[in-house]
Each structure stands twice: as C-alpha cells, then as structure tokens.
Structure 1
Amino acid sequence: MSFFGKNIRKIRSVKSLSQQSFAELFDLKRATLGAYEEERSEPKIDTIIKIANHFSIPLDDLLMKELTVNKLLKFQGNLITDQEEIVRERFATVPCITPTCSNDYVSYYNKEDFIKSLPCLQLPVSKEKKYRGYTVDNLEMSSNDKGLFPKDVVIGEFVPPKDYAQIDNGCLVLVVAENQLILRKLYITKDKFILRAEHKNVEEMSFLKKEVKELWQVRYAFYHRLPEFSDGIEEKLLFLEREFVKMRDSR
C-alpha cells in the first residue's frame, strides 16, 4: 500500500498550499492531484521523483511511510514554515539614537542593557559589522537647502581607536566626547580631532584623541523629505569645464 496520497496531502497542509497551487508546481491538473490524494489514481514515477526532490524527501519515505508533521519539518529544501523563513531572512538589527534618548546615550553608550533598550531598525547591511543609527535633530549639517535636516537618519559603522588613522579627512562621523553627541565632518591632526559643521554659523569643535569615547563613520543616510532633483545644469557646467581643460591642454 502506498502512502503517497496521504503524504502529499500532509505536505500541502504543512506548507499551506491549496490543491491548485501544489498542482501548478508540478504541471499537474488540480483534479489529477485530487485523485492522487484520494487514492483513486496512481502517479507516474517521474511525478513522484519531482515531488520527492523538490521537498528533499527520500523516495522510500514518500511512498512507503506515513509521514508525521514533525518529520516533515526536519526535511531540508523548500519545506519550511513561514516562521522559519522569516527568521532566516531577517535583516541586521541596528540600534537607533533618537532625540528623546540622545542625552542618556552620552552617559550609557557602553552599557549593553541600555543599547538593547534603544529603538531598532532592520536593515540589509552586514551582520558582521557594528552599526548605530542616529536621528538628526538640528541644522548643523545643512547649508542652504542641502545636507542633513531634522528627522533625517544616518547609519554609522563603528570605528575602533586602533583604526582612527585609516579614516579619511572630511568624512561624516558621529562622536561621543565630553558628554556630547556630535554629528560633524572629521579632520584629524597629529593629536586632535577637529569637527566641522556645514552650517556657516556653527563654530568648529576640537578634541584630543583620548577624549573621544566612541566614533561611528556614517555609511548610509535616509532622508525624511524627498530631495530636490537637479535640472542637470551643474553637471553640464562641470562637463563643459572639463572639456575646456582638455582643449587647453591639447594645444
């Protein structure tokens, strides 16, 4: 006696597939699949092999054993529950500093329990690296209508002190220093970190390297507003300038 009909019915149940959906997977008619499940008809051997291979179920088990739900869930391949699939495809979790918790962050930035209490973002970034999100709450990194504005979110990658020398001047960083959380462009001298804003009315800040408690290099930015798209004039002027230089140099 073959258990094929009972087993494919149980597979459909675990996978939450209708007869029509299951039949389409293997180029069958719904009525044909129904006949298999009700043991009114026997499938062709190539159909059995396709189903067994698709769900990574041993052929003997599919035909000769009545499979339990627990046993089906142990098989690999495409036979997984929706919950398992969500866990497998989950993005990296990035703790995010918001205006309501930014002051506390300066005091508890190195406390694991506090970091776990922060709101989090799920992002398709590397799980091997350490990231921190930050919600912009001022206009220091804006200039006219460009730059970062309140409610924009930046994502910084952690930079350990041993790698400070590898940071390029002018990159955007998030720094914890002297009880402050600062988002600025970084310029490094021999023993100091100089932090400059984009806004012309904001004075630069400087700290000794040893005064910097934590540093994150900004890798991504998410804008709260739609950016204004350029009409292409700046790009055209730059192109013409380059062509002029080429013509001048060729003389």
Structure 2
Amino acid sequence: MSYFGKNIRKIRSLKSLSQQAFAELFDLKRGTLGAYEEGRSEPKLETLIKIANYFSIPIDDLLTSELTVNNLLKFKGNLTIEQNIGEQEYFTKVPCITTLNLNDYVKYADKESFVQELPYLTLPINLDKKFRAFTVQNLEMSKNDLGMFPKDIVIGELTPLEVHSKLNNGTLVFIVTQDDIILRRLFISSGSIVLRADHKNVEDIVLTLKDIKEIWRVRYVFYHRIPETNFSLEEKLEQLEKDFDILKNNK
C-alpha cells in the first residue's frame, strides 16, 4: 500500500494549497491529483521525483510511511518554516457540512476531492486526527430552551465503524447514512444502533451498521448565541447578597 495520496494531501493542507494550485505546480490535471489522493491511481516516476525534489522529501518516505506534520516540518526546502519570523503554529482545517452542501456530502462523503473543496474552519486542535464540522439543522438536540439550535456548529472526530461499539452510551455523534446526516446521542442495544434526540417529542431512530457511512464523535460545539446558564438557588442567593452589598456601599 502506498501512502503517497495521504502524504500529498497533508502537504497541501500544511501549505494551504487547493487541489488546483498544487496540480498546477507539477503540470498535473486536478482530476489526476484527486485520483492520487483517493488512492485510485499512483504517480508516474517522473511526477514522483518532481514532488519529492520540490519539497526535499525522500521518495521512500513519501511512498512507504504516513508522514505527520512534525515529520514534514523537519524536511528542508519548501515545507520548512520561514526564517526569522519565529516559530509558526499550524491549525487544523476542518471541512464544514452546511445547509447548502449537506445533500451533496451524503452522496460524495467518500470522495476526497469533494471533501477538500468544502468550506472549512481553522482550529487549534489535533493535526493528526480527522475532523468534520456540521451545522445543526433542527431542534432535535434542544431541551427546555437549552442545548443546540439551528446554525450552531458541532465538530466531530472520525470514529471508524469497526470500533463504534467502544463508544459509551449517550455519546453525542453525527452519523452519515445513505440518505441523511443525523445529530443525536448514540446507544447500542442488541446489536442495533439507536439514535436518541434530547427533545422529548422526537422518536428514536434505529439503524444497523450497514446503514451507516460515517460516524463522527462530537468533540466541540460552537454556539450561534451565548448559551443560557442555569444558576443554582445557592448561586442566586450569593449574587443577591453581592448586589445588596453594592447598593449599601453606594448609599
């Protein structure tokens, strides 16, 4: 198995290059580059040598091991950090599933060339893990004016299908099926996957593993508003005492 496709995709991400821009550097067609990245095709020796030389990466490393960002930054050449500008920090680019591209994502989730062209968020999270951002579409995960509402954004980390059973019951996930993307809490029961909303009036969805294309475990949530905070009675009394002291001192 060649790691060439994964490695050039990581190089593009590190250099903030689109597929088109990267392809033009080496006189390639964008479709050809997409085929490399998806593992559907391997490069000609001439192309391989050009890319390896351009980024000063040994050909063997480019082909036989999955390079991390730290590995890549150790190589000299066009991947090194600019001199005399201090240490640079690289954030993860997270492709974002929105209202407009949701249906297309359901169809083309397995096409890396499609995913690379999605709008993305840039976040200070683990560079070596795979994430997706999903825009909340409905009120299913809201409860008593709390929870998540449309336009909130959840960030999910990819959970391989073969290890889904290791997720704790109640884990918040969004799941890509053959027809839709569903944001709910996951429960495993008798070999079935039950997706449960926080809203009490929404019925469970029961799936089997063959119904699922991707599982993304929610790690972060970005609210479109400032969430309401429920204070305990003790905290409210404490705040009233502080307010009273302020009023008394101002007399």
> How high is the TM-score relative to the length of structure 1?
0.59
Aligned partners of 1:121, 1:229: CA distance in 2, in Å?
27
Partner of 2:84: 80
CA, structure 1 residues 172+235, in 2 after alignment: closer, same or farther (shift >3 Å)? farther
Aligned partners of 1:77, 1:105: CA distance in 2, in Å?
34
For the pair shown, the structure with the greater C-alpha radius of gyration is: 1
RMSD of the TM alignment (CA)? 2.5
Partner of 2:211: 211
Aligned partners of 2:192, 2:230: CA distance in 1, in Å?
37
SS in 2 for 1:105: helix
Give the partner amino acid of 2:84.
I
CA, structure 1 residues 97+234, in 2 after alignment: closer, same or farther (shift >3 Å)? farther
Alignment of 1:182-193 (within 5 A): 182-193=182-193
Task: Give deviations 1:102-155, integer Å, cap 9, x for gaps.
Answer: 111110111111101111000010011100000112101101211100110000
CA, structure 1 residues 234+134, in 2 after alignment: closer, same or farther (shift >3 Å)? farther
CA, structure 1 residues 102+235, in 2 after alignment: closer, same or farther (shift >3 Å)? farther
Q: How far 1:79 sits from its partner (Å)? A: 4.8
CA, structure 1 residues 108+232, in 2 after alignment: closer, same or farther (shift >3 Å)? same
Runs of 4+ with >6 A deviation: none
CA, structure 1 residues 191+78, in 2 after alignment: closer, same or farther (shift >3 Å)? closer
SS in 1 for 2:195: strand
Partner of 2:156: 156
Aligned partners of 1:78, 1:102: CA distance in 2, in Å?
38
Say if 2:108 is the partner of 1:108: yes
Q: How far 1:232 sits from its partner (Å)? A: 2.6
Give the partner amino acid of 2:195.
L
Partner of 2:94: 94
Gaps of 5+ in 2: 1-79, 237-251
* Matched positions, count: 159
Work out the percentage of aligned pairs sharing the same amino acid: 49
Partner of 2:121: 121
Give the partner amino acid of 1:200.
K
Partner of 2:194: 194
SS in 2 for 1:132: strand
Q: How far 1:81 sits from its partner (Å)? A: 4.0
Task: Give deviations 1:219-241, integer Å, cap 9, x for gaps.
Answer: 100111011223233889xxxxx
Aligned partners of 2:224, 2:218: CA distance in 1, in Å?
17
SS in 2 for 1:164: helix
Give the partner amino acid of 1:188.
I
Aligned partners of 2:200, 2:234: CA distance in 1, in Å?
22
Gaps of 5+ in 1: 1-75, 237-251
Aligned partners of 2:116, 2:173: CA distance in 1, in Å?
22
Aligned partners of 2:81, 2:212: CA distance in 1, in Å?
49
